């Protein structure tokens, strides 16, 4: 979290970190408790990343990128699918038969979403925005990730202004729950 650089560099770094966690999950045998620990870490990062994108990236896409409304709506729908999977995954232990199915679904959804963003959305955004705008968006995304929720909240608003108002409060509650339960500790 908080890598520096413009918004595209920031988000691509997040993508690589989550993919590294996915690789570690795939390398472990089914039922290994570290798979659950890594899934929780990936969920924390994915939720913070998604909340920041919904608060700042997608409004910029709507404003600057041709056909930006349709693109942003599609990206938000991808987030909704992933968030529902993460919510279901949250209640599974590593030895639950549903765990492997759900983590597989999550990895496929996220990998598809990342490929679309990196191959289509980010190049369009880079072509449509000044370097200064991309840098400013990077700063806003880094700030949003600091206060964002760490758990999936599928029913929470995903568009400004409601998401910007509610996310910090949900984030505070989530971080308190994580501290009390030890969730998100390194595997």
Is 9 in contact with 138 (CB distance < 8 Å)? Answer: yes
Q: Residue 80 has what pLDDT?
A: 94
Q: Residue 101 has what pLDDT?
A: 97
Which CATH number is associated with domain 7-181? 1.20.120
Q: Is the pLDDT of residue 184 over 90?
A: no
* pTM (2 d.p.): 0.92
Number of residues in the chain: 187
Q: Is the pLDDT of residue 162 over 80?
A: no
* Predicted confidence (pLDDT) per residue in 6-62, tens digit: 999 999 999 999 999 999 999 999 999 999 999 999 999 999 999 999 999 999 999
Question: Among positive and negative, which fits the CA dihedral 177, 179, 182, 186?
Answer: positive
Task: From residue 164, give the alpha-carbon distance in Å to each of 12, 52, 59, 155.
Answer: 22, 9, 12, 15
* Predicted confidence (pLDDT) per residue in 102-131, tens digit: 999 999 999 999 999 999 999 999 999 999
How many Å apart are CA 119 and CA 77, to the nearest integer? 18
Q: What is the mean pLDDT of residues 92-110?
A: 96
Q: Residue 187 has what pLDDT?
A: 66
Whole-number CA gyration radius for the chain: 16
Which residue is it, tokens 């909240």? 153
Q: Is the pLDDT of residue 174 over 90?
A: no
* Predicted confidence (pLDDT) per residue in 135-161, tens digit: 999 999 999 999 998 888 887 877 777
Task: From residue 120, give the alpha-carbon distance in Å to each of 38, 68, 136, 172, 179.
Answer: 29, 12, 21, 34, 38
Q: Is 130 exposed, middle or buried (0-12, 13-18, 19+ CB in 10 A)?
A: exposed
Domain ranges for the chain: 7-181
């Amino acid at each position: 979290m908080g890598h520096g650089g413009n918004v595209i560099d920031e988000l691509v770094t997040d993508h690589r970190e989550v993919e590294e966690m996915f690789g570690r999950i795939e390398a472990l045998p089914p039922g290994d408790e570290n798979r659950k620990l890594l899934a929780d870490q990936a969920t924390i990062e994915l939720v913070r990343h998604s909340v920041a994108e919904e608060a700042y990236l997608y409004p910029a896409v709507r404003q600057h990128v041709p056909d930006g409304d349709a693109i942003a709506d599609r990206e938000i729908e991808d987030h909704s699918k992933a968030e529902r999977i993460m919510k279901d995954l949250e209640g599974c232990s590593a030895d639950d038969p549903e765990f492997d199915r759900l983590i597989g679904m999550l990895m496929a959804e996220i990998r598809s979403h990342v490929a679309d963003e990196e191959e289509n959305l980010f190049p369009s955004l880079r072509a449509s925005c000044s370097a200064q705008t991309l840098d400013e968006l990077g700063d806003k995304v880094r700030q949003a990730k600091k206060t964002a929720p760490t758990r999936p909240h599928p029913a929470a608003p995903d568009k400004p202004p409601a998401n910007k108002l509610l996310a910090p409060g949900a984030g505070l509650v989530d971080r308190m729950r994580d501290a009390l339960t030890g969730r998100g500790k390194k595997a």
